[in-house]
Structure 1
């Protein structure tokens, strides 16, 4: 919000300079993001009057002006502005003047005629974008007066960043009220005395929605001159506050909104057909707004209608049909209290925002409506003339202001200072808060303009703001350091992240809401959980897995010429589950487990001279996943997976832990590799965080002093036979002969490319050891024979 300093100081003028005032406001919670001058630096420009004007003898578009600049003699100025005329007062840059952009004025000669300065436009002075002619000044200004002083160009504009709860400060008066509370500066009293009522005309208004409108007031004013010029002082203030001057009636309404924080609306009375009704819109209705936009309305949008014709969006924007114009002669001036919850979000739904909705959805004073109508009426009558009718003020359903209590002891504990009871009372008085105090408990009734005081902490905040955050001493807290017990068998999510990061993965945080296509086509979820109000049209459903988001991260990086990407995410996924009930951390019918997913693409290792470059493959990521599971990795099973839409049907696996499915791993399906224009497939995995939490304690075992025996065994096995089943058959055997097998590794797979036999050669290496005695050859041969016999009998293999 932009606040003009001179305007602010007219309402409350503390004995502080600009920088001190900005700092005081910032420390009170009204953050001043910047202080800008209303005009750039320039010098040597004065008010001058054109006394004579004549055509330039050598140029059709130039004229020679004789100008009085208060120097005692007329100055000759050559000027090409089309609006230069005898008798007007304009800015004159004297010889030696420096204009914005360090443009220096010197004596010149144009087409043979000398010029002793330059007459200026508003754009040349940097105070407006208007450049079609000279800046014509008010006739009351003194010739020779410095233009910066004459137009108050040394004024400053505060850019204040307000938090959403401080709607009471969305006006000059609101900020001035804060300044007065902070500095004890006197606060200006506005003239809210009633204007003379000269006609008895009224417009009947029926409020049919008390949950939309709590108070509605208005009056008829006839015989206004809509073509009247907006006073320069009002136009200047509006422009410096960021508002464009439109017409006198519109400018007056905007001015009162900026000054008092009261949005109002002015209807062209002659365009209203019938009585007004304040109601909720009906499905299928539409309205053309003042900004030219036509919006389709829903049943939760408030409107003002005349019969079946909608005239405006309640608390948001007026309609084009009843907008005032320069031909308007009779008006209806409306001011109302709209409930914030009835306005909030409606303007954004229609993809625009208005000054009125910005205020109403945060809360506008509901008590001083009649006084503000009198104030704006006086401005209309003074500037545009006319005759005013009586005010029709309907109080339907005003908010109840529930008292809020604040314990002095609680306030002192929160702030960490011994603020006195008298200080608190003084602060509440400065803020205009009506209160009572008993037994060190203050009971405050929030005023009608404060919608942010609801709980005890709100009052403590008010004390802190006015007391001064910079006056609260910087004292380090004293907290006892208590070592809490940790469960060694339960791993934290932070530990999981550390393991992933130690393997070269970077953590990402993706949206929990994703594209519907991702869910339906990548995750195979035909019934995803849809969002009622998505932040973007494409992010319409909740994710049931993390893989799609990680693939999108890889695609994004691949398009930017990255050759190696390893990312992981730990986050919630969402699926339907009728057994889930509402709770503090749960939503009915929605399961929200934590998953951890990773994706690797590109080079297996950073490019280096010591080894040839190769692409990451399934087994690289499988090993990293086993590292993630730590001591539980020997309990993992990888079962071929053939029907997941995101994964390669021949290069993916279902992950099981203790026989329970906990996730999946595999290459991205070739269809998606091609669709995303990747030169090779990423390898991805996703597992449940619950399966990662349990971590068995490491148990020390006795180390054997006996030598290890290594034996190799090669067999012919069917192509369809899973290697894991061969290994499991040996590990799960209860045979005494096989007890000396410590480890089994597959080290070679071979198939004759010229043979059509559906077999392949599998070569295994066995590590044999007895913890007590040295193995004899006979025992070793007996063990290997038992291995072969087990495989032959169970799987029909044959020795190679």
Structure 2
């Protein structure tokens, strides 16, 4: 929510500085994200009037203007704006002025004609990106006055990040109420008077869905001028709130929404038939929205309709068929209360998020509809003219939110806040928040105002007391508790240690959402149906992850698109898999890598990361537990992994994870730039460790023998090593694979493995016959099991 400080101080103006006001709001729970100037710095720009103009003698697109800038004489200024006309008021940068971007205005010649200044567009003043013509000022703008002063540009926008329960503060009025309560000062709300009807015209309204729309108000206004110019002051307030001016009919409804917090809509009366009907959609109905999208409506959606069909998705967005245009002359203004619960999630279901849906989902004051309609009607009549008809209101009192009377106990305040607040101060504080307070024996009976629908229980009131009185004024108490040191068994590897291993190997930790894009999820794990969220944050975060890979790949893509060529990310967290019995929440640790194998340097030639680099990272994790020798990497197919470059990770025959290169088809479908390598492991399998124990060291020398064997291409090196250990006997201490060769001298379908065998005994020095006997057994075993032979 963006609020102009000037606008806010028109409602309530405490004697506090801007930094103090911002600190007050943040400490009161209305966290301020940013405070930014409404316009960049510039000076020397004044209001000027174009008196006369004539064509430039040597340029078809330039004119020579005589401009009154309040200096006592007319200035000659050459201008190329297409909208410049005699008599208009415009910003004029005088000679010596400094514009945004440190542009200094000097006396110059344009095609041989002297120019003493510059007439400015909105973009040249940094007010918007509009550069189609000069910024036209109102005819009443006083000549010679500084534009900064006239437009009130020495203002700041306060951006407030509200929690979902504080929908009452999604307006200037709402924030002003808070500031007034915090500072014990008066609220100067603009008067809202009932607009007297000057015509008798009405438009029929039928509310069929009273539970979802307990209050609906509307009014006919005829003879409006849709082409009238929105006043500059109103355009500026919209701009400072982050909205564009779209003409008086839309601007008025947007302004009232920002000012009072009530979303509204204007229908073109000439395009309506029969009457307004507030109802639920029927299967098969469609609606083209103002943004151009066409919705295939599910049954049960709340609609505003007429005799022809749907007109608007209630509380979210209007439709093209009834939208106002430049030719609109008669309008029907709508101001309604839509219940928050039925609207929750409906906008996101269709990939929408609007200012209206943002407010209605959080809750709008159910007493605000008629005052907002009166305010909008008066503004519309003042700006675009016309004649207003009588107000139509349909209310289902039984369906409106009912005020909840909450009992507040003095003793409970002291227990939760740790401070004894005088009763008179408590009552005064709650009354400043608009609450009705009645004293009872041990406390108060409190009735929240209509706009505070988030106050329902005693603890809500105590929270209000704490935040408005000031969290910094609450006493500090050290908790009295007994602490026990949790045991850390040696057979358990901590997650911090695993994180440190990956960080040491060049990875950075990522924390991603547990809910992911359904398209990413389906591409990476098509066989598992993910758990869908009932009310997702957005359509791109609609299902729970069944793997860490979707979030990691999103994070990798984000970094790659920001010129990060070498990316190493890891994450630990839960995956969510629905089984027949329950929702399985499984702890995992995973990673993703792409780019070069090593950071750029002069000592090592650059090469791309490959399967074995990432396999080494996984083995480092497994080695921390001391159980790495029980883990096997088994070639296998996975829908997300490249055929031939994917492996199951098994521990004592049980699947504990996967690793490999991302499948090229998946890479293309997700619009990623590869090659990309991934891994994921069950965290419990990695954190189970072998208890360290001492192994005796031999005093006798070790002997190494190297073997080069030929065998079939499809035989895994791990299987060869296991076979050697089987036949090597008690003297075999270690086996090291130090070379794999394919090529010249090796038949097709075969490969050569070179292995170093370390043999040692604890009681004596081994002799050559001893070693030869072991090597013979090993060669015979390899031959019988794999058909291997010694390479000549």
TM-score if structure 2 supplies the norm length? 0.76
**1:737-776 counterparts in 2 under 5 A?**
741=731, 743=733, 745=735, 765=757, 767-769=759-761
Q: Alignment partner for residue 486 of structure 1, among 485, 488, 500? A: 488
Counterparts of 1:197 and 1:713, CA distance in 2? 104
CA contact (8 A) 1:37 1:153 kept: no
Query: Residues 163 and 598 (structure 1 numbering): CA distance in 2 closer, same or farther, change over 3 Å?
Result: closer
Match of 1:388 in 2: 389
Counterparts of 2:623 and 2:186, CA distance in 1? 70
CA contact (8 A) 2:47 2:69 kept: no
Match of 2:161 in 1: 162
CA contact (8 A) 2:252 2:379 kept: yes
RMSD of the alignment, in Å? Answer: 5.7
Question: SS at the partner of 2:488?
Answer: coil
**1:307-386 counterparts in 2 under 5 A?**
307-325=307-325, 328-381=328-381, 384-386=385-387
CA contact (8 A) 1:47 1:89 kept: yes
Counterparts of 1:678 and 1:226, CA distance in 2? 48
- 1:338, CA displacement in angstroms? 0.8
Question: SS at the partner of 2:632?
Answer: strand
Counterparts of 1:558 and 1:7, CA distance in 2? 43
Match of 1:287 in 2: 287
Question: SS at the partner of 1:213?
Answer: coil
Question: SS at the partner of 2:491?
Answer: coil
Counterparts of 1:123 and 1:754, CA distance in 2? 73
Counterparts of 1:235 and 1:798, CA distance in 2? 84
CA contact (8 A) 2:566 2:595 kept: yes
Question: SS at the partner of 2:426?
Answer: helix
Match of 2:263 in 1: 263
Counterparts of 1:242 and 1:626, CA distance in 2? 51
CA contact (8 A) 2:637 2:647 kept: no
Match of 1:173 in 2: 173
CA contact (8 A) 2:148 2:154 kept: no
Cα offsets for 1:582-611 (capped at 9, x unmatched) = xxxxx2xx5645355677986589978699
Q: Where in structure 1 are there 5+ consecutive unaligned residues? A: 582-586, 732-737
Match of 2:428 in 1: 426
CA contact (8 A) 2:594 2:674 kept: no
Counterparts of 2:112 and 2:591, CA distance in 1? 81
Question: SS at the partner of 2:214?
Answer: strand
CA contact (8 A) 1:4 1:158 kept: yes
Match of 1:735 in 2: none
Match of 1:217 in 2: 217
Say whether 1:625 aligns with 2:623. no
Counterparts of 1:600 and 1:105, CA distance in 2? 51
- 1:276, CA displacement in angstroms? 1.7
TM-score if structure 1 supplies the norm length? 0.75
Q: Alignment partner for residue 594 of structure 1, among 579, 588, 599? A: 588
Q: Alignment partner for residue 632 of structure 2, among 617, 631, 638? A: 638
Query: Residues 546 and 38 (structure 1 numbering): CA distance in 2 closer, same or farther, change over 3 Å?
Result: closer
- 1:274, CA displacement in angstroms? 0.9
Counterparts of 1:760 and 1:123, CA distance in 2? 71
Cα offsets for 1:263-299 (capped at 9, x unmatched) = 2223333432112211122333223334454443333
Question: SS at the partner of 1:367?
Answer: coil
Counterparts of 1:442 and 1:35, CA distance in 2? 42
Question: SS at the partner of 1:361?
Answer: helix
Counterparts of 2:254 and 2:662, CA distance in 1? 59
Counterparts of 2:24 and 2:748, CA distance in 1? 88
Query: Residues 275 and 708 (structure 1 numbering): CA distance in 2 closer, same or farther, change over 3 Å?
Result: same
- 1:305, CA displacement in angstroms? 0.8
Counterparts of 1:66 and 1:554, CA distance in 2? 57
CA contact (8 A) 1:164 1:362 kept: no
Question: SS at the partner of 1:334?
Answer: strand
* More deviation, 623-632/472-481: 472-481
Match of 1:303 in 2: 303
Match of 1:462 in 2: 464
Match of 2:73 in 1: 75
Counterparts of 2:782 and 2:466, CA distance in 1? 83
Cα offsets for 1:412-432 (capped at 9, x unmatched) = 566565554443332211111
Match of 2:37 in 1: 36
Counterparts of 1:561 and 1:7, CA distance in 2? 42
Question: SS at the partner of 1:357?
Answer: helix
